[in-house]
Amino acid sequence: MTVAPDRVAELHVPPPAEPGRPWRPALLAALAVWSTSFVVHLMVGALAWLTYQGRGPAPDPWSIAVRWNGWDAVHYVSIAEQGYHLGPGYPAFFPLFPMLIHVVNPILPGDGVVAALVLANAAAFGALALLYRLAELELGAEVARRAAWYLAVFPTGFFLFIGYNESLFLLLIVGSLYAARRGNWWLAGMLGALSSATRLFGVLLIVPLAVEYLRQVGWRPRRIRPDVLALALVPLGLVGYSIYCLVDLGSPLQFSIAQDEWGRRYTFPGVAWVTSVRQIAGHGLLDKHALGGMLDAGTVLVAVVLLILCVRGPFRLRRDQMYLVVQGAIGLIMLMSTEVGGRSMQSSARYAMEAVAIFLVLGRIGAHPVVDRAVLVIGASLHAVLLVVFMAGSFLVG
């Protein structure tokens, strides 16, 4: 018997399985978004190349793609090729993405740069497909379609398609949330473990998973099943990396010690955002430090507003969908509590897109054609500008 969507929360069971081939629309949508994004990135990259290189022959697609692998991408490739003994700051980069680069590099042409790009784009495709499935499961196909496009045109969404671990991390997060929603707890736990081997904040995934698990058992401890142990898998990626750090680098907390090399420290929640605003005020509006701060603080502020709309107003999510709000809230709170290299909340503009719920609520708001066009045009325009800035080697985006 089919269960009505509005009864799911009352029955404390996962949403029913859809008949037919539920993944086909998700894969087609992901293919459309990914292929369009890749072509646009090549076009913008060519424009950036010509702008900063001056006159000369037009760049080939390979030269443009290589130019994408700047900043942190260089560190991931270096770790994959030479290990963690390159300097005291390298253990700050968690191991799963470099390990995958090391594994696939021998079977691909070129060096680790090629492997990083291929892995990032494959993960981006998977993340888009999973986001579509999750959004479709929760809010329907139209919202899912818009959510996938909105992720791709996110101002810093180009990080999904270059040699960073952003797309891999998002793939694992969304995959774990989707598996949990369907009641596949061991799969959710395993994907969570891989996420904590990709980035430290992956361990925080245990909280929204626990919220969804308790909802599915009706918030009754007596109904907890043995599969609750799957939640304990989430920190295993971090534990495994800690063991490696102890054996090979001398300390189980070497990844945390390495953060000191990058000037990372944590504050009381919200203090980092206030500090960022003060840093902006201390420079001229066109100063590069102010522009970088405005990008980070402004992006996080917009994400917070969207997350509030997930719980208040006409576009709010249902009570049984609060696991998504919890996941987004924890991530944004951590961003507003982080200072890096003297610039409060540095890189928060790209980390903010890991708050999955904001794309679902934005997908609902985008049902109005004017809003839909505005999000696509404004997002794509900022996206293109920031990609050019990134390729120019500016630290405003990193």
Residue 85 has pLDDT above 80, yes or no: yes
DSSP 85-138: TT-TTGGGS-SHHHHHHHHHGGGSSSSHHHHHHHHHHHHHHHHHHHHHHHHHHH
Angle formed at CA 240 by CA 238 and CA 244, multiple of 5 degrees: 115
- Asked if 95 and 241 touch (Cβ cutoff 8 Å), the reply is yes
> Comparing 106 with 62, which gets the higher pLDDT?
106
Q: What is the DSSP string of 285-303?
A: TTSHHHHHHHHHHHHHHHH
Q: Looking at residue 13, what DSSP letter applies?
A: -
pLDDT of residue 5: 47
Q: Cα-Cα-Cα-Cα dihedral of 65, 175, 203, 236, to 10°?
A: -100
**Domain limits, the chain:** 22-391
Tens digit of each residue's pLDDT (9 = 90 or more) over 337-359 = 888 766 778 888 999 999 999 99
* Bridge partners of residue 340, in order along the sequence: 343
Rounded-to-10 torsion of CA 67, 380, 154, 100: -30
Check pLDDT > 60 for residue 14.
no
- Mean residue pLDDT of the chain comes to 88
Of 17-31, 67-81, 278-292, 310-324, the range with the lowest mean pLDDT is 278-292
Q: Which secondary structure element, helix H or strand E, spans residue 73, and what is its range?
A: helix 72-82
What is residue 277's predicted lDDT score, i.e. its pLDDT?
Answer: 83
Question: Band of the pLDDT at 274, cuts 50, 70, 90?
Answer: confident
Q: Model's pTM, two decimal places?
A: 0.91
Q: Which of 338, 295, 107, 112 is nearest to 204 (CA)?
A: 338
On the question of pLDDT at 107 being above 70, the answer is yes
Lowest-pLDDT range of 121-125, 170-174, 218-222, 346-350: 346-350
Which has the closest alpha carbon to 152: 332, 315, 347, 359? 359
- The average pLDDT across 383-396 equals 77
Cα 34-348-274 angle, rounded to 5 deg: 150
Please report the pLDDT score of residue 388 as a whole number.
Answer: 83
- % residues pLDDT > 70 (the chain): 85
φ and ψ at 343, to 5 degrees? Answer: -115, 110
Torsion of CA 123, 160, 28, 372, to 10 degrees: 150
Region 186-198 average pLDDT: 98
Percent of the chain exceeding pLDDT 90 equals 64
Return the exposure string of 151-181: e unless at least 16 CB atoms fall within 10 Å of the residue's CB, then b: bbbbbbbbbbbbbbbbbbbbbbbbbbbbbbb
What is the predicted pLDDT for the residue at 290?
72
Residue 397: its pLDDT value, please?
Answer: 65
User: What is the per-residue pLDDT for 259?
Assistant: 87
66 closest CA partner among 78, 57, 74: 74
Instruction: Give the per-residue pLDDT at 65.
Output: 66
Over its C-alpha atoms, the chain yields an Rg (Å, rounded) of 21
Tally the C-alpha atoms within 13 A of residue 343's C-alpha that lie toward its C-beta. 21
Q: How many CB atoms lie within 10 A of CB 379?
A: 19
Q: Is the pLDDT of residue 10 over 50?
A: no
pLDDT of residue 370 exceeding 60: yes
Q: Which of 164-173, 265-274, 359-368 shows the lowest per-residue confidence on average (mean pLDDT)?
A: 265-274
Q: Rounded CA gap, 138 and 126, in Å?
A: 18
Longest dimension (CA), the chain: 72
pLDDT for position 62: 64
Over the stretch 277-329, which tens digit does the pLDDT of each residue have? 888 876 666 666 677 788 888 999 999 999 999 999 999 999 999 999 999 99
Phi, psi of 266 (to 5 degrees): -115, 145
Per-residue pLDDT, 262:
80
What pLDDT sits at residue 185?
Answer: 97
Residue 266 three-state SS: strand
Look at 136 and 3; give whichever has higher pLDDT. Answer: 136
Top pLDDT among 293 and 383 is at 383
Among residues 114, 87, 131, 116, which one has the least CA distance to residue 356? 131
As a whole number of angstroms, the distance between CA 127 and CA 140 comes to 18
Residues 233-243 have pLDDT tens digits of 999 999 999 99
